[in-house]
Structures are given as structure tokens and as C-alpha cells.
Amino acid sequence: MIEIPARRGKAVQVKKGQKVKVINTRGQQVVDTWVFNTADLREFMSMDHSRVAIGRIIPGIGDALVTNKRRPILTLVEDTSGGIHDTLFAACDRWRYEALGCAGYHDNCTDNLAAGLAALGLEPPETPAPLNLFMNIPVIDGNRVEVRPPVSTPGSYVTLRAEMDCIVAFSACPQDLVPINGLDMRPTEAHFELLD
């Protein structure tokens, strides 16, 4: 079991066929997730291509998320979290926290992606729109989007199967100014496990 520390990023090499189980340890923590083709980091999991492929804005069990070359890279195979995730919102970044009135540096998912990959000696070619696991952004009346606390519970998890050799990067989202990580607005750690 590997920790994604509170407010931090972590990345891991995953072989085709291996599974990653992502555990919402405390229950209300959003985990931004990115996946890059190990052989070419410029090919990565893409939310705007995946929505076309799966015909939904929220992946369900059996759905294969695809890359910007429309190849399956990650399949959702298990989900005990309530099935609410987000594909619509960009990763938070320094500009987001500046806009929220934050003076000085604030941890953010964009920098966490870079740090997670840097620990493997890698650099992201850009910050793709992430799969925001456990994040609850309903589309109301077919248009309006709203930030709501996760519906997940402590210890609930999703399991994702790699469809190619890939680098999976996570960020335990450090957002503490809006209730994206629960009404307490207190970012926590999460965990993941590699399964063969």
C-alpha cells in the first residue's frame, strides 16, 4: 500500500494488465489522476477523447478511458465509492488559487503532477485534464456545474486496469478553499496499491 500524502503528488510505473486500486482512505479526498504512455509521454489519457469513446461524462464499470490517440489506456473495473467522479474540471494550479484570493504559494495538483513525475526522472509534456476520482461536479439541467462534497466513504476505492505500459500519476488535491474535499475543507492523504 503506497501513500499519496495529503496535498502531494505521487507517480508509479504500471505494466499492461496490472491494476491500480485507489483508496479514498479518509473518504472525502479527491484524487486527480493522469496516465501517460510509458513509450511516449505525449500520448496520455484524455478526458475530451474519453467522453466521445464512452458516451458519458462519468466513467462507469467496464468503461475504457482513451488517450489523445483514442487508444484504450485505463479501464475502470471496480468502484465501491458511489460512482461519482469528474472529467470536466481542470487540475487546480497557482492561477486558480490566485483567483480565489490566496496570497502567496498554495500547493496545487498541477505542480503535484510535475513533482510526482520528477521523482521518476520524468517531465509531463503538459498538464492534461485529469480524471478527478471521487470528485463530485454534477451537471444540473444539462448545463450548470456545481462544486459538491464527494459521496465516497472511508476506505472506498476504485480499481483501474492498465491497457498499455504506462505512468500513472496521482495528486491528493490540496483544495481547502471550496468544499471539493468535503465540507470540512481539510485535504487528507489517500492510498493506492498495485495488483497483478
Enumerate binding residues for a copy of itself (CB under 8 A).
46-49, 51-52, 55-58, 68-71, 88-90, 93, 95-96, 99, 126-127, 129, 138-140, 142-146
Distance separating alpha carbons of residues 99 and 177, to the nearest angstrom: 11
Indicate the residue among 68 and 75 with the shorter CB distance to a copy of itself: 68
Indicate the residue among 11 and 91 with the shorter CB distance to a copy of itself: 91
What's the min distance (Å) between Cβ of 15 and a copy of itself? 24
Indicate the residue among 23 and 114 with the shorter CB distance to a copy of itself: 114
Distance separating alpha carbons of residues 12 and 1, to the nearest angstrom: 12
What single-letter DSSP state applies at residue 181?
G
Selection from 26, 33, 9, 10 nearest residue 152 by Cα: 26
Indicate the residue among 27 and 128 with the shorter CB distance to a copy of itself: 128
N- to C-terminal Cα distance for the chain?
14
What's the min distance (Å) between Cβ of 119 and a copy of itself? 24
What's the min distance (Å) between Cβ of 94 and a copy of itself? 9
DSSP string, 62-76: TPEEEBTTS-EEEEE
